[in-house]
Structure 1
Amino acid sequence: MTELNRRRVLVVGGSSGIGLAVARQADHAGAAVTIASRSQAKLQAARSSLGPAAEASVLDTGDMTGIETFFAERDAFDHVVVSAAQTATGPVRKLPLEDARQAMESKFWGAYRVAQAARIVERGSLTFITGYLADRPSAASVTQGAINAALDGLARGLALELSPIRVNTVSPGLIDTPLWSKLSNDAREAAFERARASLPAKAVGQPDDIANAVLFLMRTPFATGSTVRVDGGGVIA
């Protein structure tokens, strides 16, 4: 397995949730970590939880010119992870078309732009965070499932196009991230309790569970074109 000591790791969407967990684990493994997101305030808060050598940079995945400039001004990275996305979800006949377009724009096209511009060393890696709804569709989250499936397909194609750079996806299930803070404490705990009862793992996932899989893909030089599902058994439940 490849060590991460002194490897240059970029986490797009690294200011919170899964992205921040990836950044922390890579930082702990000795990598030179850069976190990027649209929010300067979130970046500053996240940066304080990383080691002194970590860097933070404002980056909007919707801004192709900004992305190109970001990579042009930096040396190539060993590993790039894209976790950034803001996606509304819902049934096709209830979700406004503009919300669906914005979800695709954020999660799929944001990752696409990064893939197009990113400078990654030979035999380095690019990893997207997708989601298990790509494999187990939900009537309540049709658009989300379609976007995740599109990202999985994009990664497999890029694994051929960008070879020997390795391209993979990690597909989470229900994960306890700040996205759930939009619900009241009671509503959130009720949702988590239903998940614990129904999932084979009898647990709600944590950001570090996903970060474990991302670092596995960074460290494993034989892994490319793969989707690592970390969903507590959600697809088979």
Structure 2
Amino acid sequence: MISLAKQRVLVVGGSSGIGLAVAQQAAAAGAEVTIASRSADKLKEAARSIAGKVETAVLDTGDNASVEAFFANREAWDHIVISAAQTASGPVRKLPLDDAARAMDSKFWGAYRVARAARLAERGTLTFISGFLSERPSASSVLQGAINAALESLARGLALELSPIRVNAVSPGMIDTPLWSKMDESNRNAMFERVAGSLPAKTVGQPSDIANAVLFLMVTPFATGSTVRVDGGGAIG
């Protein structure tokens, strides 16, 4: 059984979806968990679903001064997970440049700012959430693939620069998260059924599937510079 007893875990983007699942599993493993996001209301609601010791922190990864101040005033973390991102999608020639820049700022530069400012224990871990489009591009989501590839490359480089801190990425495929909640329910279910049928695993993923991989990386001392793909076989199917 995985134990994170008395270890301090920060989940950036921990108020919903994958980040919340990571926080829930880390707390269940005994960690002292802090969840951070831009919304105090969402954090408060999320904290009620986490059993164990949990704190909340309002943090905007787009504001470098705030990111630096957040880490300057806290002791080193044992583990940091970055799952926060808002990315617009669409073909390169149709997606407005401002939207593309905001997507890159949210998912890549937001993670970069946190990595740059973060204070981690000597053998702590830093984990990014990327996505399988880094390996299997989509003609309608070119930017997402490029951002995810950049994150995975950043993880490999930081694994060298920050050693012996371990830096890794987890690459999800289609995951059933609140990201899809704006879709009509019947359309959403039809999409999930269609995607599941196309995957070798014959199912879409759950946030807990990704959290399992994140916790594996936290407690495996020999894992660094790695990208763990949890995509139902999406990159090979």
Tell me the TM-score normalized by structure 2. Answer: 0.98
1:58 is matched with: 58
Question: Is the alpha carbon distance of 1:186 and 1:2 closer, same or farther for their aligned partners in structure 2, counting shifts above 3 Å?
Answer: closer
2:176 is matched with: 176
Q: Distance in 1 between matches of 2:128 and 2:62?
A: 16
Structure 1 window deviating more from structure 2 (45-54 vs 192-201): it is 45-54
Q: Distance in 1 between matches of 2:134 and 2:52?
A: 38
2:25 is matched with: 25
Q: Distance in 2 between matches of 1:191 and 1:207?
A: 17
Report if aligned partners of 2:108, 2:147 keep a CA contact under 8 Å in 1. Answer: yes
Q: Distance in 2 between matches of 1:222 and 1:38?
A: 33
User: Structure 2: which amino acid aligns with 1:8?
Assistant: R
Superposed counterparts of 1:143-162, under 5 Å: 143-162=143-162
Q: Distance in 1 between matches of 2:185 and 2:149?
A: 31
User: Structure 2: which amino acid aligns with 1:51?
Assistant: A
Give unmatched runs, 5+ long, in structure 1. Answer: none
1:25 is paired with a residue of what secondary structure? Answer: helix
Superposed counterparts of 1:20-169, under 5 Å: 20-169=20-169
Which aligned runs of 4 or more in structure 1 are off by greater than 6 angstroms? none
1:205 is matched with: 205
Q: Distance in 1 between matches of 2:89 and 2:195?
A: 19
Report if aligned partners of 1:199, 1:233 keep a CA contact under 8 Å in 2. Answer: yes
Aligned length: 237
Report how far residue 40 of structure 1 moved.
0.6
Q: Distance in 2 between matches of 1:182 and 1:144?
A: 19
Tell me the TM-score normalized by structure 1. Answer: 0.98
Q: Distance in 2 between matches of 1:67 and 1:74?
A: 11
Report if aligned partners of 2:170, 2:227 keep a CA contact under 8 Å in 1. Answer: yes
Q: Distance in 2 between matches of 1:157 and 1:123?
A: 17
2:152 is paired with a residue of what secondary structure? Answer: helix
Q: Distance in 1 between matches of 2:55 and 2:13?
A: 13
Report how far residue 53 of structure 1 moved.
2.1
Q: Distance in 2 between matches of 1:2 and 1:157?
A: 27
| Offset from partner CA, 1:137-173 (integer Å, 9 cap, x none) | 0001000000000000001000000000000000000
1:182 is paired with a residue of what secondary structure? Answer: coil
CA RMSD of aligned residues (A): 1.0
1:185 is matched with: 185
Report if aligned partners of 1:9, 1:34 keep a CA contact under 8 Å in 2. Answer: yes
User: Structure 1: which amino acid aligns with 2:133?
Assistant: L
1:214 is matched with: 214
Report if aligned partners of 1:131, 1:170 keep a CA contact under 8 Å in 2. Answer: yes
Report how far residue 3 of structure 1 moved.
3.4
Structure 1 window deviating more from structure 2 (77-86 vs 61-70): it is 61-70
How high is the sequence identity, in percent, across the aligned residues?
A: 72
| Offset from partner CA, 1:178-231 (integer Å, 9 cap, x none) | 000111001101100101110000001000000000000000010000000000
Q: Distance in 1 between matches of 2:89 and 2:151?
A: 16
Report how far residue 50 of structure 1 moved.
1.5
Report if aligned partners of 1:2, 1:221 keep a CA contact under 8 Å in 2. Answer: no
Report how far residue 2 of structure 1 moved.
7.5
Give unmatched runs, 5+ long, in structure 2. Answer: none
